[in-house]
Amino acid sequence: MKGPRRIYNGFLASAGMLFAQRHGLFRPYHDAVFRRFWSHELEIDELSQISGVIADIGGSAKDFEDYVNGPARQEHDRIIDEAEALGVFGVPTMVFNGELFWGGDRIGMLIERIENPATIAKALGSRHRA
């Protein structure tokens, strides 16, 4: 693993993820982009390179490019706006029943809450909205 070489615009990589999810290719897309990016084999803000990943994992590069040139920006921005409205500000962030869990060290708390959702009132106190 190597650190990033510069500041990237993540829109195309995010659009690729949304496209891959929609076509049942999320895991291979995620794994390929993660490995290639952190090995300095992928520029995530180059359309041809993200289209290449889509093609490599069995998707249609043309359909992906049509998506990018069509509804991708609006969908991407809507998701970002929704996340910001929920208070999401980092990775990983999970929201369960209106409660925000941020950071890998909070995954255990999230699992506990999923298994016993009644504990939310005690955890959130006056902030809890039933």
* Pairwise pLDDT comparison (43 vs 90), residue with the higher score: 43
Return the pLDDT at 128. Answer: 52
What is the model's pLDDT at position 130? Answer: 53
Query: Rounded to two decimals, what is the model's pTM?
Result: 0.73
Q: Which two tokens stand for residue 50?
A: 């993200």
Query: So what's the pLDDT on residue 6?
Result: 85
Q: Report the pLDDT value the prediction gives residue 62, as an integer from 0 to 100.
A: 98
Confidence of residue 127 (pLDDT cuts 50, 70, 90): low
Sign of CA dihedral 37, 39, 43, 48: negative
Q: Is the pLDDT of residue 95 over 90?
A: no
Residues 35 and 72: beta-carbon distance below 8 Å: no
- Kindly report the number of other CB atoms within 10 A of residue 68's CB atom: 20
Model confidence at 77, in pLDDT bands (50, 70, 90)? very high
What does the domain layout of the chain look like in residue ranges? Answer: 11-75, 88-127
